[in-house]
A = this chain, B = another copy of it.
Amino acid sequence: MSKIHSLVAAFALAGFSSVTWSQALPTKAPAPADNPTTTEKVSLGKMLFHDPRLSSSGTVSCASCHNTMLGGEDNRGGSVGVEGQVGGRSAPTVWNAAFNEVQFWDGRAPSLEAQAAGPVTNPIEMGMKSWGDVVARLKTIDGYQVAFEKAFGKNSISKDTATKAIAAYERTLITPNSPFDKYVKGNKSAMTEQQIRGMNKAVELGCTGCHSGPAFNGPGAFQKFPVISNGALQAKYKFKKDKGLAEVTGKKSDEYFWKVPTLRNVALTAPYFHNGKVKTLERAVKIMAKLQLGKDLSKAEVADIVAFLDALTGEFPKQEMPRLPASNGTTFN
């Protein structure tokens, strides 16, 4: 937890400094020293990410909730895991997740590798009893023996290698060249007048305090939500039912602290907020201004900011579907 707390502290130090947005999205994400990206790992990770056999029922893959064919999530409020169970938080996008300092809505995972280990054994997500069971199942599939060998060497199927491969694949899920990126690189006609107006309004309001940097998710990795209490909005949307980071740490000081989500591709990821209770981006913008900044936005201001957020939709790289190796009849009991 030390990393998380130092990041919270870093955020507190940074405060709400109003900066403008000027950074294009990098086209490559840095990999940790112990998991350098290789073609073989990415290829294996893509297979694992899309393979429903990583779930107890054989029906839920990472991509089921973090749909790479959509905006990297499922466009649902609560995601659906094994046996039709519905989770309490809305799936965050996997696109550009490589640029998050921490993962999960509550930021409890310090890396993509650590994140990848979680949902597989979560009883309402992918429902496997243990990673030992996952490894045993993968070992029944000959094609995985081969793919792991290529990526990590002989007899290498393990929780460590599987999560490293998934993370390596996720580091390739980057959407550059949004209208905003083209704009900051000098093509001043890449954004419309309304989008530029919306950007300037958002800067003026102070949205940059939390949503800055190339992925619009910093400088601090965490922020409190809601900052300002509002009885009517709370009654309607139940934002405070879930205490965020404090649900993990048990600390009063962590209550309602959340990972700051990226704004990249936010136009594609309705519904909104950690609990997915807000259906439209217009409503989400209005609520954020009210609860985080104490501002009441006009309809025109909301429309301008939404237009700007549309300019953060990037180019999704063409992806070839992975070929998943067949089960031989012993994969499921």
Which residues of A are in contact with B by a Cβ distance under 8 Å?
50-53, 57-59, 64, 67-71, 74-77, 80, 82-85, 267-271, 279-281, 316, 318-324, 326-332
Contacts and interface: CB of A to CB of B under 8 A. Distances in A.
Nearest to A323: B316
A305 to B, nearest CB: 16
Contacts of A64: 52, 59
Contact of A269 (B51, B70, B326): B326
Contacts of A319: 320-321
A219 B58 CA distance: 35
Given A57-B84, A59-B64, A326 B70 contact: yes
A326 B268 contact: yes
A102 B67 CA distance: 32
Given A58-B75, A58-B76, A332-B76, A69 B326 contact: no
Nearest to A265: B326
A74 B57 contact: no
Contacts of A53: 75
Given A52-B74, A75-B326, A83-B84, A318 B320 contact: yes
Contacts of A327: 75, 270
Given A59-B74, A318-B321, 7 more contacts: A58-B75, A69-B321, A75-B332, A82-B84, A269-B326, A270-B327, A271-B329
Contact of A328 (B52, B69, B70, B280): B280
A69 B75 CA distance: 22
A280 B323 contact: no
Interface hub of A58, A70, A332 (most chain B Cβ within 10 A):
A70
Contacts of A323: 69, 316
A274 to B, nearest CB: 16
Contacts of A320: 318-321
A331 B270 CA distance: 10
A102 to B, nearest CB: 25
Interface hub of A69, A316, A324 (most chain B Cβ within 10 A):
A69
A71 B326 contact: yes
